[in-house]
């Protein structure tokens, strides 16, 4: 096996959308970093059956502004 080609595998904290957290090992970031999730199994429509629109990048607002005159009400 080649030396020094594998990423650092360390402990990080995962924070779910409801605020709960747990520790796991990952190659994400640095040791002790926190990964905050936007969507997880507790909030994803595939598992909850509740569909909601997530607009993390402003694309939904841009779409609504562009097509606001078509007469479709939300």
CA pair distance 40, 42, nearest whole angstrom:
5
Q: Where do the structural domains in the chain lie, given as residue ranges? A: 1-50
Average pLDDT, the chain: 82
Tell me the per-residue pLDDT of 14-37, one tens digit each, with 9 for 90 and over: 999 889 999 999 999 999 999 998
pTM greater than the 0.75 cutoff: no
| Highest-confidence segment of 9-18, 32-41, 56-65 | 9-18
Q: How far is CA 62 from CA 2, 30, 53, 57, in A?
A: 49, 35, 13, 10
Confidence band, pLDDT 50/70/90 cuts, at residue 56: low
CATH 3.40.50 fits 1-50, yes or no: no
């Amino acid at each position: 096996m080649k030396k020094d080609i594998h990423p650092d595998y360390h402990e990080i904290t995962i924070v779910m959308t409801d605020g709960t957290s747990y520790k796991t090992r990952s190659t994400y970031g640095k040791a002790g970093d926190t990964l905050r999730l936007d969507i997880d199994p507790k909030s994803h429509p595939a598992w909850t059956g509740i569909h909601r629109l997530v607009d993390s990048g402003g694309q939904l607002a841009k779409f609504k502004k562009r097509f606001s005159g078509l007469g479709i009400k939300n």
